[in-house]
Structure 1
């Protein structure tokens, strides 16, 4: 259940971060509301996961997966180009998330 809540936190953060660009400095109301609500949900859900997961592990998973998803959304929705170095770096982030989640004894399964 803790990973489901963490997944909700990640999705809410990714939606909020993606809407942040569309909010144009909080000058557009609907994207601005999505940003505020998304971050509120993200931080609330992240705080719930900290009852079970160590803070370093939860944050590493939350931020790592979020970075990769936001980069993908930036490429698809905003036409941002990812060069080879960016793709390799994102691959390393994914590898790091997998190592932490699958191999680390710090994660309670």
Structure 2
């Protein structure tokens, strides 16, 4: 169940990244509220996942997978350029997440 909670937390964290970019430094009320609400929901589900995961491992997976998700969403839907360097960084992050999982910490 902790993996499901972590997956939900990742989805909400990706939304936080997208909404925060639209909030324009928290000057756009609608996007600011969306950022804060999705951030709170994502953090709630992360806290549920951390009941099982080691804190360092769970947090590292959450932030890493969320970061990769935001880069991919930005490239697919927000007209942001996905360069080979970004793709290499994504591959390295995925390798790190797999390494954490293989460590048997969760």
TM norm. shorter chain > 0.5: yes
1:27 aligns with 27
Q: Shift in Å at residue 100 of structure 1?
A: 1.5
Secondary structure, aligned partner of 1:73: helix
Runs of 4+ more than 4 Å apart: none
When normalised by structure 1's length, the TM-score is 0.90
2:68 aligns with 68
2:105 aligns with 106
Pairing 1:11–2:11 present: yes
Deviations 1:6-44 (A, max 9, x none): 111111111011110111111222211110001101111
Q: Shift in Å at residue 77 of structure 1?
A: 2.7
Alignment RMSD? 1.2
Long gaps (5+) in structure 2:
none
Q: How far apart are the structure 1 equivalents of 2:83 and 2:4?
A: 32
Number of matched pairs:
106
Q: How far apart are the structure 2 equivalents of 1:91 and 1:36?
A: 29
Q: How far apart are the structure 2 equivalents of 1:6 and 1:105?
A: 16
